[in-house]
Amino acid sequence: MFKNALLNTLDKIYLNSHECNKKCTPYIRGYIVYYEHKIEYNTIDTYQKPEVKFDHGVNVKKYILAGLIGGGVIGLVTGLAIGGPIGVAIGGIIGAVVGGVAGGIKALKEIEKVPVESITLNYKEPIYENKEIVKIPESEYISKSKLDDNDIKKIINAIPTKSIIQQVPLKNENGKVIYKEIQKTFSGHGKPVVSYKTEEVKEPILQGWKQSIKADVYCS
């Protein structure tokens, strides 16, 4: 009775909601049981992380724009020689693309001429560890033809076996985030320009997990 009551209820819900051709009859072959978890992330601290850019003094956009214009003009002239508005349009587009690429390559060559400089910075980053947040049941497919009372009970009282792993920031005995010292050297063409970006230290907080059941429906 327990099994039949649940099956009849599920059948009614899914058969009524299933979009099936009006000329066919829907049948349920089995059930797909899904398990999903929900995790939110709380910001528990912040730190400053350096970002380094190198000012090489080369106006890359200027080189590319010059290439686009020069290549486009050459392409238009070539297209005009071929004849017709289509030839002009195609020639202009191809010429502009080729010219833009050539301008970009020329800019890169100019950047390579700029002396390489380096800067070494010291900063801190939080230490993380992989930690099991929760265990949830494995999603599974249950054939209706093989479904018995034990299967129904297993759906309702599923045993959590799948570990959900998250990166969790390490804390000391006072609940403060533990940081490690980082020393990193940055190198590039030109003068180094240092800026700092505020990064958040986030801690995963489990909001629970849920079960959902979807019918495997076919029409005949």
Q: Is residue 90 domain-shared with residue 77, that is, in the same domain?
A: yes
Domains: count for the chain: 2
One domain, residues 34 and 49: yes
Residue 39: exposed, middle, or buried by beta-carbon count in 10 A (0-12, 13-18, 19+)?
Answer: middle
pLDDT of residue 44: 95
* 130 burial level (CB within 10 Å; 0-12, 13-18, 19+): exposed
Q: How many CB atoms lie within 10 A of CB 60?
A: 15
SS3 70: helix
Give the separation between CA 183 and CA 124, rounded to whole angstroms.
9
Query: Among all chains, which residue has been given the structure tokens 């320009």?
Result: 193
Helix, strand, coil share of the chain (percent; to 5): 35, 45, 15
What is the pLDDT, as a whole number, of residue 49? 95
Asked if residue 173 lies in contact with residue 28, where contact means CB atoms within 8 angstroms, the answer is no
For 70-119, the pLDDT digits (tens) are 665 665 566 556 655 666 566 667 766 776 787 778 878 888 888 999 99
Which pair of tokens denotes residue 147? 């479904």
pTM confidence score: 0.64
For residue 61, the SS3 value is helix
> What is the per-residue pLDDT across 1-41, written as a single tens digit (0 to 9) for each?
444 545 554 555 455 555 555 566 777 787 888 888 899 99
In this prediction, residues 133-146 reach a mean pLDDT of 80
49 and 68 inside one domain: no
User: C-alpha 32: how far from its chain's center?
Assistant: 27
Q: Are residues 49 and 109 in the same domain?
A: no
Indicate whether 77 and 130 sit together in one domain: no
Contacts of 220 (CB under 8 A, 6+ apart): 24, 25, 27
Which of 75, 96, 113 lies at the terminal end of a domain, its last residue?
A: 113
Using an 8 Å Cβ cutoff, are 139 and 173 in contact?
A: no
Tokens describing residue 56: 């090489």
pLDDT at 116: 92
User: pLDDT band at residue 120, thresholds of 50, 70 and 90?
Assistant: very high
Domain containing 29 equals 2-55+117-219
Mean pLDDT along residues 125-149: 83
Tokens of 211: 């079960």
Query: Both 49 and 87 in a single domain?
Result: no
Specify the 3-state DSSP secondary structure of 10. helix
Q: Mean pLDDT over residues 133-155, rounded?
A: 75
Residue 84 and residue 150 in one domain: no
Asked which of 70, 87, 113 is the last residue of a domain, the reply is: 113
What SS3 state is found at 190? coil
pLDDT at 199: 96
